[in-house]
Amino acid sequence: MINESTPHCHLYFGIQSKAQFGKIFLFLFRNDVKTGFVCRKKDQRDKRCNDYKVRFSCQAKSCDNVCWTKWYNRDKPSGSGDWEHLSALIRENPGGSLCSEPKYIEAVTADREIPATKTGEKFHAYSPTKGLICRNKDQKRRRRCSNYKVRFGCYCRSVSS
């Protein structure tokens, strides 16, 4: 359920939930942006709920005091994968708009701007503090990662221009 550790935004536009291990859920009591995620054991055929990861998304305009960097695309998916790693981006763009402690990350494919979470690819890292790392070896059927671009959301006072 939404609680004190949930990001504070005035308007949530998405909730994503998935099982950590085991079966995919069959019956959910709640899975919406207003209430959050609730799996009740009594609703399940086997009377068990899995361990789930839940992530909330908010629109940049609805989050308080968040400024977004420009888009960065430092790597192509050739070789071992696509490495849009925050530390490398900071090192390669001194004095740029990157902050040292971003609170949000957005990643889309460089060509068609499909959100990374909609591509079906597996990510080694996808977080505001690490950036996006897509390794070719983690993909199904020997596929290569897409080419991604990323941007970071920082508290406005910590973004330099």
Distances (CA, A) of 128 to 21, 52, 54, 100, 147: 24, 20, 16, 10, 18
Does residue 133 sit in helix, strand or coil?
strand
Q: Who has greater pLDDT, 160 or 81?
A: 81
Q: Which of 10, 136, 153, 139 is nearest to 75 (CA)?
A: 136
Residue 4 clears pLDDT 70, i.e. is over it: no
Ranges of each domain in the chain: 12-62, 66-158
Tens of pLDDT along 58-114?
555 545 688 889 999 998 888 899 999 999 999 998 877 788 889 899 999 999 999
CB atoms under 10 Å from CB of 55, counted, come to 13
Please answer whether residues 51 and 25 qualify as being in contact, where contact means their C-beta atoms are separated by less than 8 angstroms: no
> What does pTM read for this prediction?
0.60
Which tens digit of pLDDT belongs to each residue from 31-74? Answer: 555 566 677 778 777 887 776 666 656 555 545 688 889 999 99
**pLDDT at 99 (0 to 100):** 86
Q: Provide the β-strand partners of residue 148.
A: 109
